[in-house]
Amino acid sequence: MTFPELRESATAIVRRLQKAGHTAYFAGGCVRDELLGRPPKDYDIATSATPDQVQELFERVTDLQGKSFGVLRVMKGDLAFEVATFRNDGTYTDGRRPESVTFAGPGDDAQRRDFTVNGLFLDPVAGKIIDFVGGQADLKAGLLRAIGDPEQRFREDHLRLYRAARFAANLAFQIDPATWEAVCRLAPLGKDLAPERVRDELIRSFTGPHPQRAFDLLVDSGLMGIWIPEIETMKGVEQPPQFHPEGDVYTHVRMMIGMLKDADLILAFSVLLHDISKPETYAVDHTGRIRFNEHETRGARKAEAILRRLRFSNEQIEAICACIANHMAFKDVPHMRVSTLKRFLARPTMPVEIELHRIDCTSSHNDLEIYDLVKQKLEEFSHEPLKPDPLVNGKDLQTLGMAPGPGMGRVLHQLMDEQLEGKFPDKESALRRARALLASLGIGGA
């Protein structure tokens, strides 16, 4: 589905609502993005029609659990569009959602939203912007400002604290001073949020176009410390200057984050957490050199605890922790046997690990010799699979007289090493080598 097709489907819903005598507009982020010249990812629609009236107008309406809050989903083909009745929100008691709503007009609806740039409406039929909150002026000024009283907005929904950092970073906007003061003062409210909601905001921040800006805002406001206090411990942790002329661990990680742009989730959080255990592994050896022994393995365990705290999926945790646990292994690449190197490069997270290595080096000593060697080896090996199917398997070894057990695993591992090193090209020669190995163990005959 292309952007014009998405917009036209949304416009068709607005047009139908208007023809039935209702007010209907595009609302919120889609309006902001269009005014900024960015294709919206989705379109939300706000209308004077009640949920019952929306249901009468459209054949396919889903997500009825939102009906009590005036929110339905209207389906156009495979696309879902949120259609919400203009409303006032009642009292917020849980820092997340109102206890009740009352239907109202568009002006009242705009006043209940979070930031002025998200409080705009657009009539796509008439081609007219409806602005009750000064959002157009703030868009032009590049300013993120809470609608009305910032403290009230953030106390209503505590997630708006994290959304402020995300929007300011991703839009490259400054934050209005009163809004920023409220974010910093009320940051402790973030501890009451559901982990999944915070996780999603952090993902959007660190996989956005300006993750270093998000990092700074989250740290400076205190919001980072609520859910990932381990980041603060990196401040002031010295590193060996011959390898890290840029400064302490915190500075190094911040620089790496600054090299990301619209990054993959696995890469972004591998960068953020790859040195998370350097503070606790800091030591100075007898020569006076700073060392962080086993910080990668301890860091992977620590990262897992952080990611589970934030309810990342098991698959995401496994990938991120693999990148962290192996990020120091690149130093051994020049000395690896061919079989070891192929096994190393065949790891499923290797593309992310290579980019993590490049960023790590570029943000410190800037020596990319190993990175270049890895790219060269990948090119050399590109004509064949890095992880080919074994020419000899366990069933073959049993046929040759070997019983299952640990010894069989060791033989299979050796045979795969030799296969990776090109010592036998086909099944027949692989079986000859297998017979010779078994004979050396007193099994079968040569």
For residue range 336-364, what is the model confidence (pLDDT) as tens digits?
999 999 999 999 999 999 999 999 999 99
Q: CATH for 3-141?
A: 3.30.460.10
Per-residue pLDDT band at 314 (split at 50, 70, 90): very high
Residues linked to residue 143 through DSSP beta bridges, in sequence order? 174
Per-residue pLDDT band at 446 (split at 50, 70, 90): very low
Query: Of 64, 149, 76, 79, nearest to 114 (Cα)?
Result: 149
Top pLDDT among 422 and 258 is at 258
Q: What percent of the chain has pLDDT over 90?
A: 80
pLDDT at 2 over 90: no
Per-residue pLDDT band at 93 (split at 50, 70, 90): low
Determine contact, residues 13/22, Cβ cutoff 8 Å.
Answer: no
Determine contact, residues 108/95, Cβ cutoff 8 Å.
Answer: no
pLDDT at 294 over 90: yes
pLDDT at 102: 76
pLDDT at 1 over 60: no
pLDDT at 98: 56
pLDDT at 231 over 80: yes
pLDDT at 389 over 60: yes
pLDDT at 53: 94
Q: What tokens appear for 152 in the block?
A: 């009230």
pLDDT at 439: 87
Query: Of 102, 86, 108, nearest to 24 (Cα)?
Result: 86
- CATH 3.30.460.10 maps onto the chain at 3-141
Parallel, antiparallel or unpaired: strands 44-47 and 24-27: antiparallel
Q: What percent of the chain has pLDDT over 70?
A: 96
Handedness of CA 30, 32, 34, 38 (dihedral sign): negative
pLDDT at 42 over 70: yes
Lowest mean pLDDT among 16-20, 70-74, 204-208: 70-74
- Residue 44's alpha-carbon distances to 27, 81, 355, in angstroms, are 6, 6, 37
CA distance 281 to 245: 19
Fold of 228-383: Hypothetical protein af1432 (1.10.3210)
The H-or-E segment that residue 279 falls in is helix 278-281
pLDDT at 430 over 90: no
Per-residue pLDDT band at 99 (split at 50, 70, 90): low
Determine contact, residues 124/9, Cβ cutoff 8 Å.
Answer: no
CA distance 51 to 87: 12
Determine contact, residues 4/39, Cβ cutoff 8 Å.
Answer: no
pLDDT at 162 over 60: yes
pLDDT at 86 over 60: yes
Top pLDDT among 387 and 361 is at 361
Parallel, antiparallel or unpaired: strands 101-103 and 121-123: unpaired
pLDDT at 119 over 60: yes
pLDDT at 298 over 50: yes
Q: Whole-model pTM?
A: 0.89
pLDDT at 422: 87
172 Rama class: left (phi>0) / alpha (psi -120 to 50) / beta: left
Q: Across residues 93-104, what is the average pLDDT?
A: 63
CA distance 42 to 27: 11
pLDDT at 199: 98
CA distance 297 to 319: 14
- CATH 1.10.3210 maps onto the chain at 228-383
pLDDT mean across residues, the chain? 93
